[in-house]
A = this chain, B = another copy of it.
Amino acid sequence: MPVTLDALNVAPEPEFVAALGAIFEHAPWVAEAVAARRPFASVEALFSAMREAVLAAPEARRLALLRDHPELAGRSARAGTIAAESIAEQAAAGLDRLSEPEYARFAALNSAYREKFGFPFILCIKRHGRASLLRQFEARMSGDIARERETAEAEVFRIAAIRLDALVTGEGRFRTTGRLSTHVLDTVAGRPAAGVVIELAEIVGPDEAVTVARAETNADGRTDAPLIAGRPVPIAHYELRFHIGDYFRRAGLDLPEPAFLDLVPIRFGVAEPEGHYHVPLVAGPWSYQTYRGS
């Protein structure tokens, strides 16, 4: 449960370390290293201090930070011996629901990666859809060790930043979350389209899509909450599906059967997990437009 920065700034050191000990996996020493530098003016300042503590640590500790990281879809996750945060993150990415062949593929990649680099494959999976995650895995297998260590450490920082952002509330929070939203305008009536059913699917393969959100537009033509918010928007291809034919039929328009526009799919890619993606639909029964809005 969230804690305020103010509370952390005045907490006894053991409490501070207990609260932040899991921000870096198996590495409470990072929290210990910054306790004396309190108070912090912002969560961002706290995070910068922790980051500096890692960069200033002896080589062995920095390497251990990578070595001790849990594997993606690995045995530890299955056995439940990794941090609670890691379990939740991996579950959110669907890694706990892998089929046996997929599990085998991850296991093979994990072994090959660890053999080549000496530490497990580390990726901030909250920022990646399933297809992107595999693409990253394969791309990084071909890197050299020096660059890969840098990349892995950068991912460790990303993971830590998201955990810290979720845990500590306070002024000047830094941005680790993105947003995906939509709204629908009816160009026949010249007003927001209410009651349009919308599905958001992540495209995980050439012929495979997973529905990740479902909503209905309100009187303002928007969904009550963004389709994705309060977290990074995973790097992926998505498809928004608007049931616009049902909407116009309910509005009393005389549409042919089948209607020219019935289910309108808008397929788009997300490349900036921390970005704001507003993808509206401006539609009549015979035409529509979309764009990346703000």
Chain B residues positioned under 8 Å from A185 (CB to CB): 287, 291, 293-294
Q: Among A239, A259, A287, find the residue whose CB has the most chain B CB atoms closer than 10 A.
A: A287
* In the bound complex, CA of A132 to CA of B258 (Å): 9
Identical chains in the assembly: 4
Q: Hey, what's the 0/1 contact readout for A253-272 against B, CB within 8 Å counting as 1?
A: 00011111111110111111
**23 sampled A-B residue pairs with Cβ under 8 A:** A132-B258, A185-B291, A185-B293, A185-B294, A187-B286, A187-B287, A188-B188, A188-B285, A190-B286, A190-B292, A191-B292, A221-B294, A235-B258, A236-B258, A237-B262, A256-B272, A260-B268, A264-B267, A282-B287, A282-B289, A284-B287, A287-B289, A287-B291
User: For the complex, is A290 an interface residue (Cβ under 8 Å from B)?
Assistant: yes
Q: Among the listed B190, B236, B265, B289, which residue makes an inter-chain contact with A265, where contact means beta carbons less than 8 Å apart?
A: B265
Across-interface contacts of A264 in B (CB, < 8 A): 267
Q: What is the minimal beta-carbon distance from A147 to any residue of chain B, in angstroms?
A: 18
Q: Is A79 interfacial (CB-CB < 8 Å)?
A: no
Interface size on A, residues (CB 8 A): 43
A192 at the interface (CB under 8 A from B): yes
B272 engages A262 (CB within 8 Å): no
A187 — which chain B residues lie within 8 A by C-beta?
Answer: 187, 284, 286-287, 291
Q: Which B residues touch A290, using CB under 8 A?
A: 287-289
Q: What are the residues of chain B within 8 A of A189 when measuring CB–CB?
A: 286
Which 3 pairs, one residue from A and one from B, show the smallest C-beta to C-beta distance? A190-B286, A258-B269, A287-B291
**Is the CB of A52 closer than 8 A to any CB of chain B?**
no
Known contacts A221-B294, A291-B185; A257 and B284 CB within 8 A of each other: no
Docked complex Cα distance between A288 and B284 (Å): 11
With A287-B290, A291-B187 in contact, do A267 and B265 touch (Cβ < 8 Å)?
A: yes
In the complex, the answer to whether A287 meets B294 with C-beta atoms within 8 Å is no
Q: How far is the CB of A9 from chain B (nearest CB, A)?
A: 32
Interface positions of A from 220 to 248, Cβ below 8 Å from B: 220-221, 235-237, 239
